[in-house]
Structure 1
C-alpha cells in the first residue's frame, strides 16, 4: 500500500505528540513527589514505592503488550493504549488515598508499556527504511523534551493550583488525541491473506524463532548495560560533581540540563547518521556510540580539575552518548525481526532494559558506599560499554561473513 507524503508527515507528527504526552505522564511523577509527600505525609520509603511502581508496571507488561500489538495491529492498540493512559491520569485527580494513588501509578506503568512497541511498529510501517533512523531519533526526543516540560510545568501547576491539575490536563489531552489513531493505516496485510494466516498461527514456536535471531539476541545481551548507563548517568552525575568537585547545586543543575540537551541532540544526530552513512550497518554505528560512551565516562573519571567549562563539555557528551543511542536501538530491534513480531521484540527489549535499570541504579549507589566514591562504579560502567561495543563489532563481522558465504 502506497502512503501519501502528506499522510506520512501528519501521522508522524501525531506519533511525536502522543509520545510527548505519554512520556510526560510517565516522567511527570518525579518532580511532583515532594508535593505528594507533603499532602499525604509520606515517608521516604513510601515515596520510593511511588517512584518504582510505574517502572515496575512497564517492566512487567512490556512483553505482553508487544504481543498484543502484533496480534491486534497498530491502529487499535494505539487507540487503546492512549485512552487507558489518559483515563488513569484523570483518575489521579479523583483519587486521594495513598494506596489508591499507588495502584493508579502502577496501572499507569502497565498501560504506558503499550506505547513503545506500538509506536515502533507503527513507524516501521509508516516510514521508509532510508528515513527510519532519523524518524525514530526525532520521536525519541519526545521523551527528553517531555522531561523538560514536566520538570518546569508540573511544579508550577502544583504551586498555583494542585499537583493533580497537571495530570488532569495530560489525561484529557491524551484521551482527545488518541482517536487520531483511527486514521492510521496498517500494512497492506489488512487485506493480505498471507499476513492474516500469520496472525492465525500466533504461537510460541514463532517467538522462539525470533529469540534465535542473531541480531536480536545480541541486542538482548547488551540492552541491560544500555539502560543502566542511561539511568545512572542521569541519577548520579550531579551527585558526583557535587561531591568530588564541590560544584554548587545550582551549577550542578545547569550541568544536568546540558546532559539532557546532549541527549536530545544525540538522538536526532545519530538517527540522521544511521540513515545517511550507516543505512545497512546500524549495529556498527551503535557500537561506535557505545565506544564513545565508554571513553567519555573514562575521561570524566580521570579528570583532575573542576573547570566548569570542562565539566559542561563532558556533561553534554555524556548525555549525547549515554542516551543518544535510543532511536538507533529501536530501529535495530524493529529491523532484526519480521514486521509481524516487532511488538514482541520491542517488548522483550523494554522488559530487559527497565528491569536492569531498576536493579542496576541502586547497585551503582551501593558501590559508591562500598568504595567511598563513584570512581569504581564509573570505571565498571565504562568497561561495560567497551564490552557491549565488542559484542556489536563481532555481530557486524559475522553478518558480513554470512553475506560472503
Structure 2
C-alpha cells in the first residue's frame, strides 16, 4: 500500500484522499472530456448540413481532433510529470471546452478545423494527465482495474454524446448543443480541480542533468518494447475509429438497417467498450498477474475475426446478429485502451509515467488519424465495403502477431515481472 500512503501527506484535510475517491474525479473529468470531444462523429451529419460540407470534409473533423491529440501528447506528458495531475485537469478542460465553444460560433470550415484541432490539445492531454494520477495512486495489483475504470469514461462519454446530443441537435441545432456541452466541460474542470489531489507533493527542486527530459524522451524512442506496444496500438486504435466512423454508413447502405437502429449499434459498441475497459483490466490483474501483452494479442485476434464476419454480412442480415457483432467488436477495439496505457507506463520508471503515456499516445494516435481515411480509400477504389473489412482484418492479424512476439520477448528477457 506504499503508493496509497503517499496520499496522507496532503495537508488539505477537507478532501478525502482515498485512491478510489480520486479515481472518481478522474473518471468524472474523463467522461465529460469524451462527451465533448467524441461528439464530432455523431453530430457530423448536422454540422455537414449546416456548413454544406462533403463527406470527406466531415471526416476531417475527427481527424483534426486526433491530430491535436497527437501534437499534445508528449508535451502534456512532460508537463504532468513536472507539475502533477491536478492543475492540468483544469487547463485541459478549459482548452477543449473553450475551443468547442468558439467552434460553434464560426461558419468557416477552416476556422472550425482550427478550433477542433486546438480542442484536440486538451483532449489529448487528458490521457497522460489521468494516467499519471492512477500510476501514483494505485499499486500494480489494482492498477489495471483502476485504469480500466478511468478509460471507461471515454466510451461512456462517447455513448452519452450519441444518446443525448444527437436528439438535442435534431431539435435545437448543433450550435447551441455544442455551446452547452462546452460550458458543462469547463464547469467540470473547475469542480475536479477543487476536489482532486495529487498523491504526493510535486518536487520544486530542479531536475538533475541525468534526468533531462529530452534525453529521457530519446531513450523512450530507443525502448523497443515501448515502440512495439505503441505500434500495436496503431492497429487497434485505427480499427476503433473505423468502426465508429463507418458502422452507421455500412449498416444503412449495405445491410439495410434504419438510421435509428444503426445509431443504436454505435451506442452498443461504445457500451461494450466501456465494459471491456474495466473487464480486460480485471482479467489482467486477477487471472494473468498483470500480464497485458497476451490479452492484447487475444483482443487483436477477436477483432480480426469480427472484421471478417462484418465483411460476410449480406443485405437483410437481422439486426440482432449485427448488434451482437457490434458488441464483440466494441468490447475489443474500444476496450483495449486500459491495457495499453498500463503496458506503456509499466515499461518505464514510475517517475516517467506521464511522458511514457504521452509518447505512446502520440504514436498510437496515428491509427485514428490515418485509419478511417485509408479504410474509405479502399472502399472507394474497390467499390465495396467488403475489401475494407478484409484489409482491416489483415492489419489486426499483424497486430496480434506483434503482441505475441512482444509477450514472448519480454518473458525471455525478464524485463517485466508480472507477479510484481
TM-based fold match above 0.5: yes
1:198-217 matches, cutoff 5 A: 201-217=211-227
> In structure 1, the residue corresponding to 2:288 is in which secondary structure?
coil
Asked whether the 8 Å contact 1:117–1:346 carries over to 2, the reply is: yes
Out of 326, 329, 332, the residue aligned to residue 321 of structure 1 is: 332
In structure 2, the residue matched to 1:334 is 345
Q: Distance in 2 between matches of 1:395 and 1:242?
A: 39
Q: Alpha carbons of 1:22 and 1:250: their partners in 2 closer, same or farther (altered >3 Å)?
A: closer
In structure 2, the residue matched to 1:18 is 29
Out of 234, 257, 279, the residue aligned to residue 267 of structure 2 is: 257
Q: Distance in 2 between matches of 1:25 and 1:394?
A: 37
* C-alpha deviation, 1:25, in angstroms: 1.7
> In structure 2, the residue corresponding to 1:12 is in which secondary structure?
helix
Structure 1 window deviating more from structure 2 (93-102 vs 145-154): it is: 93-102
Q: TM-score, normalised by structure 1?
A: 0.87
Q: Does 1:181 align with 2:209?
A: no
> In structure 2, the residue corresponding to 1:258 is in which secondary structure?
helix
Q: Alpha carbons of 1:71 and 1:255: their partners in 2 closer, same or farther (altered >3 Å)?
A: same
Q: Distance in 1 between matches of 2:247 and 2:59?
A: 20
Q: Alpha carbons of 1:303 and 1:97: their partners in 2 closer, same or farther (altered >3 Å)?
A: closer
Q: Distance in 2 between matches of 1:299 and 1:43?
A: 30
Q: Distance in 2 between matches of 1:312 and 1:183?
A: 39
In structure 1, the residue matched to 2:132 is 121
Q: Distance in 2 between matches of 1:52 and 1:300?
A: 24
Q: Does 1:297 align with 2:307?
A: yes
Out of 65, 75, 78, the residue aligned to residue 76 of structure 2 is: 65
Q: Distance in 2 between matches of 1:128 and 1:11?
A: 14
Structure 1 window deviating more from structure 2 (310-319 vs 235-244): it is: 235-244
Structure 1 window deviating more from structure 2 (309-318 vs 7-16): it is: 309-318
Q: Which has the higher helix share?
A: 1
Out of 107, 117, 120, the residue aligned to residue 118 of structure 2 is: 107
Out of 357, 360, 363, the residue aligned to residue 368 of structure 2 is: 357
Q: Alpha carbons of 1:183 and 1:397: their partners in 2 closer, same or farther (altered >3 Å)?
A: same
Q: Alpha carbons of 1:125 and 1:293: their partners in 2 closer, same or farther (altered >3 Å)?
A: same
* C-alpha deviation, 1:19, in angstroms: 0.5
Structure 1 window deviating more from structure 2 (386-395 vs 120-129): it is: 386-395
Out of 195, 198, 202, the residue aligned to residue 190 of structure 1 is: 202
Asked whether the 8 Å contact 1:157–1:165 carries over to 2, the reply is: no
Asked whether the 8 Å contact 1:330–1:346 carries over to 2, the reply is: yes
Q: Alpha carbons of 1:244 and 1:104: their partners in 2 closer, same or farther (altered >3 Å)?
A: closer
Q: Which runs of 5+ in 1 are unaligned?
A: none
Q: Distance in 1 between matches of 2:396 and 2:44?
A: 32
* C-alpha deviation, 1:277, in angstroms: 1.1
1:29-68 matches, cutoff 5 A: 29-42=40-53, 47-68=58-79
In structure 2, the residue matched to 1:391 is 402
Q: Distance in 2 between matches of 1:375 and 1:142?
A: 32
Moved over 6 A (4+): none
Out of 7, 14, 17, the residue aligned to residue 3 of structure 1 is: 7
In structure 2, the residue matched to 1:84 is 95
In structure 2, the residue matched to 1:275 is 285
Q: Distance in 1 between matches of 2:24 and 2:57?
A: 38
Asked whether the 8 Å contact 2:33–2:185 carries over to 1, the reply is: yes
Asked whether the 8 Å contact 2:69–2:124 carries over to 1, the reply is: yes
Structure 1 window deviating more from structure 2 (231-240 vs 217-226): it is: 231-240
Q: Does 1:218 align with 2:222?
A: no
Asked whether the 8 Å contact 1:79–1:182 carries over to 2, the reply is: no
> In structure 2, the residue corresponding to 1:336 is in which secondary structure?
coil
In structure 1, the residue matched to 2:390 is 379
Asked whether the 8 Å contact 1:71–1:199 carries over to 2, the reply is: no
> In structure 1, the residue corresponding to 2:162 is in which secondary structure?
helix
Asked whether the 8 Å contact 2:95–2:118 carries over to 1, the reply is: no
Q: Distance in 1 between matches of 2:405 and 2:56?
A: 43
Q: Distance in 1 between matches of 2:169 and 2:246?
A: 26
Q: Distance in 1 between matches of 2:210 and 2:122?
A: 25
* C-alpha deviation, 1:94, in angstroms: 5.5
> In structure 1, the residue corresponding to 2:414 is in which secondary structure?
helix
Structure 1 window deviating more from structure 2 (145-154 vs 316-325): it is: 145-154
Would you say how many aligned residue pairs link Structure 1 and Structure 2? 402
Q: Alpha carbons of 1:32 and 1:258: their partners in 2 closer, same or farther (altered >3 Å)?
A: closer
